[in-house]
Amino acid sequence: ELYNETVAKAFLQFYEHTAQVVWNQFMEATWNYVTNITNKNREEMLLKDMERSQHTLYFGTRAHLFKIDDFQDPDVKRMLSKLQNVYKAALPKDELQEAPAVLAGRAGARAEGQPERGLTLAPFLGLDLEEIMATSRDQEELLWAWQGWRDAVGLQVRMTFERYVQLSNKAAKLNGYKDMGAMWRSAYESDTLERDVEQLYEELQPLYLNLHTYVRRALYRFYGPQLINLRGPIPAHVLGNMWAQSWVSILDLVLPFPEKPPEDVTRIMRGQHWKPKKMFQEAEKFFTSLGLLSTPPEFWKNSMMERPTDGREVECHASAWDFYNGEDFRIKKCTEVTIEDLLSIFHQMGHIQYFLQYKNLSVIFRTGANPAFEEAVGSVITLSASSHSQLLTRGLLSRQHQDEEEEVNVLMSIALEMVAFIPFAYLVDLFRWKVFDGTIQKAVYNQEWWNLRLKYQGLCPPIPRTEDDFDPGAKFHISASMPYIRYFFSLVLQFQFHEALCKASGHVGPLHRCNIYNSKNAGKLLEDVLKLGSSKPWPEVLQKITGETKVSTKALMTYFKPLLNWLVTENVRHGEILGWPDFSCTFDKET
Ligand SMILES: CC(=O)N[C@@H](CC(=O)O)C(=O)NC[C@H](CC1(C(=O)N[C@@H](Cc2ccc(O)cc2)C(=O)O)CCCC1)C(=O)O
Ligand SMILES: [Zn+2]
């Protein structure tokens, strides 16, 4: 037999040495493009992407020649089966050439990356629309920004989206999947993923419904009955965010105890003359305090930590990059000195820590145990980094004691980020899975998007939408073809990790007061997991950190229990209707 296990090992060695070079060149070329968007850099990146596809196809087709089931070594079997998925490289050359313009794709992400169209939110018309969505309390102005962005970007994506679906599904079928949604879900190595996430969503729904009902009442008090229907969905433009995926910007409108507002950490950071570099050093300090790895000199030399001032056009969506040579790791972020950006840097540094921990594995295993693990690492550290005790320790808060009411205020601000995000994180790929499997046809893309936004988020568009619009395209990850269910999954996982790491750190007391800073035990638990990359099935990896093999919402519910109790009491006191029985989206102002 020609292709035995010994040959397979030599084949994998050959792959290893060539892949490091090909992937490194692709990442370099892509980095050069997104940090200096010019046609020349785009051409160079497309060339390197083509070379990467040829390399993937060469090894992917040959990986099928091995009778994997007869092999003994589990690593060899796992590596060969992963190589067999060649993603878009399976497409015929002409369609592969067409792909970049169509398969937007996140340039550096693990999966088949393609340059995004540079559809960045700011600067748009010289304004930062996200800033307006977060700070304006004038609903006409909010409507202008909300509609302006969708008219400018959503429509542009619509033109190629149908072709994108066709090419994606063709590539998926050539790899043996029924459609691209099935190929995306295969990253979780589970044939019950759709049901599992639906179950997780149902467990979290009561928490979201109570938050939605309470926030609707607060918005009713501020904007009045002509805009807010207490028995209906909330208009999507008054939640403080372009996609209403995070409501933390309207904390001032919904604060449970307004006489005890949380301290303004951003103001304190600016008062202490924080600079972007110090924000990255702060995040690094947290990871090294756990006994985890520090970043190499290349990180500080090569990262882009601020928007360039030399006129270059850059892609400002924050991201973390692995250059697959075991030394070069970078973050690209247009950092502003705010608490939101500090916490987002913790998230990005979580990606970097994962890259550092698994850098000695085969390139094939240099990804998270599943995509949600990659997202959860940085987010779980953020839960401690944003805790009262940590901010106090780092001199970012002055008030020592936090009474019960202040604690509810803080839990509310965290829930406006995390709990508000639950239905959005769930529906983005619910929509795309249905588009890929044909349940949602092109003629009703926008109507079906809003059906999901109504059903899961309890939102309405502020003005009538038609099939001439394409509102899903206004979300970066959809225009950049970046899968999203990882963020829903990570939301649950990060609290499960947090509970396990807090236990390991010897924390006693409420989960939301836990801060694992300086805990070498917690760090060791995390390190043992990160080092594995994707070399083992993720339930095994989950068990190493939490002792369980199943994802559970218990920890998240425990964390928010004090807030849920307060919300239920508050909603009962007002005789509120949970949900939106008046499900119609009324647009006439006079009602
Ligand atoms: C080369 C490359 O692409 N690398 C990948 C990582 C990898 O594949 O290794 C990467 O860097 N992706 C970028 C993405 C950026 C952010 C994001 O897009 N977040 C989502 C969802 C969300 C929302 C709230 C929240 O608290 C956490 C997440 C959104 O904003 O909608 C921006 C804000 C935070 C994370 C990221 O870091 O996940
Ligand atoms: Zn991330």
Q: How far apart are CA 204 and CA 217, in angstroms?
A: 21
Lowest mean pLDDT among 19-28, 117-126, 500-509: 117-126
* Residue bearing the CA closest to ligand 1, atom 21: 487
Residue 305 contacts residue 333 (beta carbons within 8 Å): yes
With bands split at pLDDT 50, 70 and 90, how would you rate the model's confidence at 2? low
Can you give the pLDDT at residue 128?
Answer: 85
With H, G, I as helix, E, B as strand and everything else as coil, classify residue 192.
coil
Ligand 1 centre distance from Cα of residue 318 (Å): 7
Q: Is the CB of 351 under 6 A from ligand 1?
A: yes
For residues 112-128, one letter each, b for 16 or more C-beta atoms within 10 angstroms of the residue's C-beta and e for the rest, the string is bbbbbbebbbeebeeeb
With 0-12 / 13-18 / 19 or more C-beta atoms within 10 angstroms meaning exposed / middle / buried, residue 148 is: middle
Can you give the pLDDT at residue 373?
Answer: 98
Kindly report, residue by residue over 52-103, the tens digit of the pLDDT. Answer: 999 999 999 999 999 999 999 999 999 999 999 999 999 999 998 887 766 6
Can you give the pLDDT at residue 106?
Answer: 38
Atom of ligand 1 nearest to the CA of 110: 8
Interval 174-188 mean pLDDT: 97
pLDDT at 20 over 90: yes
Q: Is the CB of 347 under 6 A from ligand 1?
A: yes
Angle at 483 between CA 481 and CA 484, to 5 degrees: 125
Can you give the pLDDT at residue 585?
Answer: 86
Lowest mean pLDDT among 16-25, 471-480, 568-577: 471-480
Residue 295 contacts residue 331 (beta carbons within 8 Å): no
pLDDT at 466 over 90: yes
Kindly report, residue by residue over 304-341, the tens digit of the pLDDT. Answer: 999 999 999 999 999 999 999 999 999 999 999 999 99
Q: Is the CB of 487 under 6 A from ligand 1?
A: yes
Q: Which of 441, 484, 447, 460 is nearest to 582 (CA)?
A: 460
**257 backbone φψ class: left, alpha, beta (φ>0; ψ -120 to 50):** beta
> Which of the pair, 280 or 587, is modelled with greater confidence?
280
Can you give the pLDDT at residue 103?
Answer: 62
**468 backbone φψ class: left, alpha, beta (φ>0; ψ -120 to 50):** alpha
The verdict on ipTM greater than 0.90 is yes
pLDDT at 122 over 50: no
Can you give the pLDDT at residue 8?
Answer: 97
Interval 100-112 mean pLDDT: 47
Angle at 236 between CA 344 and CA 180, to 5 degrees: 65
Ligand nearest to the CA of 109: 1
Ligand 1 centre distance from Cα of residue 540 (Å): 25
Q: Radius of gyration (Cα) for the chain, nearest Å? A: 24
Q: What percent of the chain has pLDDT over 70?
A: 94
Strands (E), 276-430: 319-322, 329-332
With bands split at pLDDT 50, 70 and 90, how would you rate the model's confidence at 365? very high
Kindly report, residue by residue over 202-244, the tens digit of the pLDDT. Answer: 999 999 999 999 999 999 999 999 999 999 999 999 999 999 9
Ligand nearest to the CA of 130: 1
Q: Which residue has the tokens 């010994």?
A: 6
Q: How far apart are CA 53 and CA 159, in angstroms?
A: 25
Q: Kindly report whether the global pTM for this prediction surpasses the value 0.90.
A: yes
Q: Is the CB of 374 under 6 A from ligand 1?
A: yes
Ligand 1 centre distance from Cα of residue 194 (Å): 22
Ligand 2 centre distance from Cα of residue 223 (Å): 34
Of 416, 421, 487, the residue with max ligand 1 atoms within 8 A of its CB, to mutate for a pocket test, comes to 487
Kindly report, residue by residue over 533-581, the tens digit of the pLDDT. Answer: 999 999 999 999 999 999 999 999 999 999 999 999 999 999 999 999 9
Q: Is the CB of 241 under 6 A from ligand 1?
A: no
Lowest mean pLDDT among 98-102, 280-284, 442-446, 538-542: 98-102
* Residue bearing the CA closest to ligand 1, atom 36: 319
With bands split at pLDDT 50, 70 and 90, how would you rate the model's confidence at 154? confident
Residue 460 contacts residue 236 (beta carbons within 8 Å): yes
Q: Is the CB of 321 under 6 A from ligand 1?
A: yes
Ligand 2 centre distance from Cα of residue 187 (Å): 16
Angle at 327 between CA 111 and CA 522, to 5 degrees: 80
For residues 84-97, one letter each, b for 16 or more C-beta atoms within 10 angstroms of the residue's C-beta and e for the rest, the string is bbbbbbbbeeebbe
